Amino acid sequence: MKRLLRFALVLVALIAIGAFVLWRVSRTPPAWYQPPNVRDPAVNELAETVENRMVELAQKVRPRAEQWSLRVRENQINAWLAARLPKWIANQGDTEWAADRIPVQVRLESGAISMAAAVERGQSARTVVARIQPTLEPGGLRLKLDSVALGRIALPGEPLANLLRIVEPMLPASFDLDEARDILKVLDGSTLVEPEMNLADGRRVRLIALRIDDGVLEFTAETVGEYD
């Protein structure tokens, strides 16, 4: 009886330790999650340089059907996300974006993009990581949510359901929940996204090719429309 009791106590202790470790690890962000400091002048300068280069290439007047390419590194994208994305969202009329509370960072892997954000819930904060596999097809851009993790713990089950379960309670009261669900449901891969962006002069930037390697994103596009 004493041996059985001791075994039970050891088993309970091991379960408790395991649960504590999982609890701590789920609150520990991935090692690569280190968002740039938005108050660093160098980060802002890099973000502005990347944005200006993108705008310059997109708006350049070219012969009909001429294609152009851009290669951006992971640190350039993350600088833009830290320094320019909040301002861009504010220009769209959304004043509830809190860059300091919800810093976003991406990690470029072979054929996939991992996006991480530290979000607050009550008195605690967790890092949500979503891994997406983008594929450019003849009908458009397909975005497939591959996995979702809390901190360093990958969640079992269907990734989209996990993401919806995490995100919905964290949305501001003014956020259109139906719109959020529609956007997230694109990530099940069943709906293709039109790979185009409108320019102020009426032309459009159309994505032609996309390649993702470790730390690097390279895409080819063409600017089409009224002035091509």
Q: Residues 10-21: pLDDT tens digits?
A: 555 554 444 444
Q: Using the CB atoms, write b or e for 113-137: b if 16+ within 10 Å.
A: bbebbbbeeeeeebbbbbbbbbebe
Q: What is the pLDDT of residues 128-166, one digit of tens each?
A: 889 999 999 988 999 999 998 888 888 888 888 888 777
Given a cut of 60, is residue 36 above it in pLDDT?
yes
pLDDT of residue 13: 52
Neighbours of 4 (CB within 10 A): 8
Task: Please check the confidence at residue 99 and state whether its pLDDT lies above 50.
Answer: no
Interval 171-205: pLDDT, tens: 656 566 666 667 767 888 888 889 998 888 888 88
| Confidence band of 100 (pLDDT split at 50, 70, 90) | very low
**Using CA atoms in the order 140, 146, 151, 157, what is the torsion angle rounded to 10 degrees?**
130
The shares of helix, strand and coil residues in the chain, as percent rounded to the nearest 5, are 35, 30, 30
Whether 163 contacts 155, CB under 8 Å: no
Is the whole-model pTM more than 0.85? no
